Amino acid sequence: MKLIHFETISSTNQYLKDNYSNLDNLTCVWANHQTNGRGRFGRNWVDNDDLLFSILIKNENNNLSNPTDYSLLIAATIYKVFKKMNLESFVKWPNDIIINSKKAVGILLEAVTTNEIQCVIIGIGINVNSKYFPIELIDKATSLKNELAFDVNKEKLLSNILNEFEVDYNSYLKNENDYLKIIRNNFYLKNKEVVFSYEKKEYQGIVLDIDEKGLLVVKTSEKILYLNSGEVTLQKSYSNKKA
Ligand code: BTN
């Protein structure tokens, strides 16, 4: 995998968006700081000793027929790397990784489309060595350092993730879906009540599962819905009292 490093950049996702046509498939760009880091829903991603990186997936050999699969693929990769570090994590479909009920990783998937899809950019922010969080995030966010009680080497972590991701990417291209088994077995939303918008309507339901295509299976009072991460916005999730 080709690696590009910046001490400071506006956003690693934006860099790949601007330069994808001159870069190889599976180029990774990482930075120590971002001045305009992006989160989902137009939010900012404010960094504080985080691991910030983006991976470019170019449209080659039909590898982008289901672009949203890539959030779950990288989430499964990171889950495995954390496990080797003795960190127990859960995947909050489709974009977050949770440790001790708090968010440790955020994933932002962006696509560039002209006439057809050109590339997908997987942007990942891992709270690595941050010790303190702003007051509004104290109950919601954690870092690897807070969970392990020691500093983590960001470069080594990145190299472990990229090595593992390359293997997982090649398996994915061969239609092997081990990543879905990992997500289903370590699935944060299972049996939780969720509020989400879908086709401009708001729904409430209980999460039953993730199916073999990576769709979220939710039971509402009226029906069972199969939700694609590109079509649905999860607004809230909370433990089902019965679970
Ligand atoms: C989220 O949870 O809202 C997703 C956050 C994604 C942040 C990462 S940091 C590296 C990459 N570059 C960006 O501008 N954003 C992503």
pLDDT tens-digit profile of 155-188?
A: 999 999 999 999 999 999 999 989 999 999 999 9
- The pLDDT assigned to 200 comes to 82
Is pLDDT of 232 > 80?
no
pLDDT tier, 241 (very low <50, low <70, confident <90, very high otherwise): very low
Average pLDDT score over the chain? 92
- The pLDDT assigned to 239 comes to 60
Give the containing element (helix H, strand E) for 160.
Answer: helix 154-173
pLDDT tier, 62 (very low <50, low <70, confident <90, very high otherwise): confident
Q: Give, using CA atoms, the residue closest to atom 3 of ligand 1.
A: 39
- What residue ranges in the chain does DSSP mark as E strands? 3-9, 28-34, 51-58, 90-92, 96-99, 102-113, 117-126, 192-198, 201-210, 216-219, 224-227, 232-239
- The pLDDT assigned to 196 comes to 87
pLDDT in tens, 26-54: 999 999 999 999 998 889 998 889 999 99
pLDDT tier, 56 (very low <50, low <70, confident <90, very high otherwise): very high
Closest residue by Cα to residue 97 from 120, 81, 116: 81
Is the full-model pTM beyond 0.85? yes
Token reading at 161: 């993730």
> For residues 190 and 115, what is the distance between their CA atoms, to the nearest angstrom?
38
Q: What is the sign of the dihedral through the CA atoms of 91, 97, 99 and 102?
A: negative
Pairing of β 28-34 and β 51-58? antiparallel
Is pLDDT of 70 > 90?
yes
**Radius of gyration of the chain from Cα atoms?**
17
Q: Ligand 1, residues 5, 8, 13: which to mutate, most atoms within 8 A of Cβ?
A: 13
Percent of the chain with pLDDT over 70: 96
Q: What angle do CA 202, 206, 209 make, to 5 degrees?
A: 115
Q: Which atom number of ligand 1 is nearest to the Cα of residue 53?
A: 10
Q: Which atom number of ligand 1 is nearest to the Cα of residue 107?
A: 4
pLDDT tier, 99 (very low <50, low <70, confident <90, very high otherwise): very high
In Å, how far are 53, 70, 151, 223, 225 from 107, measured between CA atoms?
10, 10, 22, 29, 24
Is pLDDT of 112 > 50?
yes
Is pLDDT of 226 > 70?
yes
Pocket of ligand 1 (CB under 6 A): 11-13, 34, 37-40, 43, 45, 52-54, 106-108, 123-125
Q: Which atom number of ligand 1 is nearest to the Cα of residue 10?
A: 14
* 21: exposed, middle or buried (Cβ count in 10 Å: 0-12, 13-18, 19+): exposed
Q: Ligand 1, residues 4, 78, 108, 122: which to mutate, most atoms within 8 A of Cβ?
A: 108
